[in-house]
Amino acid sequence: MSNLILRGMNVKKYALAMVMVVLLAAGYSQSSQAAPVLCNSLSTFQQLIDQSGATGGCTIDDKLFNDFTFASVGLLADLTPVPGIPASSITFVLASTNEGFNFTFILNAGTVVVTNDIRLGYDVTCIGATFDCIVSAEVSITGGGSDGGVGRADENICFGGPCGTADTSLHVSTSGITGAEVKFPGQHIVGFDKDINADCFASGGPTCSVSISGLINTVDQTTPEPATLLLFGAGLAGLGLFRRRKA
């Protein structure tokens, strides 16, 4: 029985992955040439997508968030794909800690739509005079399930740009660890690729249900080393002394 369940889960994952590839290839990511704006001047994830692109996106402090991608799909019990949730139904505010987003949405699964999935990605780049400012990433999930229903968020983190092969990853779920963090050497550009999934396929129970209501995703930045602060302070002191002598 356990082998049959595992085989069924693998079929479900394969079907879901194939649909996601088709959706992303069909243009569920968009690019524009708009100038970057402040991230808090936008309100829905659809607006983030519309603002995205090589020279677009939005900024938080010394970071540019751009190249947003999105796809969403559900699967019935017979693995027939059904429409997922639209990007316009995802709202966000800036995270209260570190730099990133607190996404709010409703992603449900039960005995009819047995799995519901979101694929969400973007890049983060240090801007201005700041280099290698990204030193960690955090993700947390909000939601719950019953009779075997589980919500998960898996995040691939790719150094240097858009995600291909992940350099590191984070995994959280409503039935286990709901928040996780990873630290790494300072990076100038980091790509993030999130797979958010509400799943009742593995259980198949008559009362199985799961709902995910939000996801927080942030990055942290480097703080000046003590030696750097001393050099900066010495430079300011020297400039002040030079001005007094000149006067």
pLDDT the model gives residue 227: 41
pLDDT the model gives residue 34: 73
pLDDT the model gives residue 14: 57
Rg (Cα) of the chain, in Å, rounded?
Answer: 22
Contact 71, 24 (CB under 8 A): yes
C-alpha–C-alpha distance, residues 110 and 120, integer Å: 22
pTM of the model: 0.81
pLDDT the model gives residue 171: 98
C-alpha–C-alpha distance, residues 129 and 95, integer Å: 24
Contact 108, 151 (CB under 8 A): no
C-alpha–C-alpha distance, residues 52 and 244, integer Å: 49
Could you say which residues of the chain have pLDDT below 70?
A: 1-33, 54, 204, 222-247
pLDDT the model gives residue 55: 74
User: Which secondary structure element, helix H or strand E, spans residue 116, and what is its range?
Assistant: strand 113-126
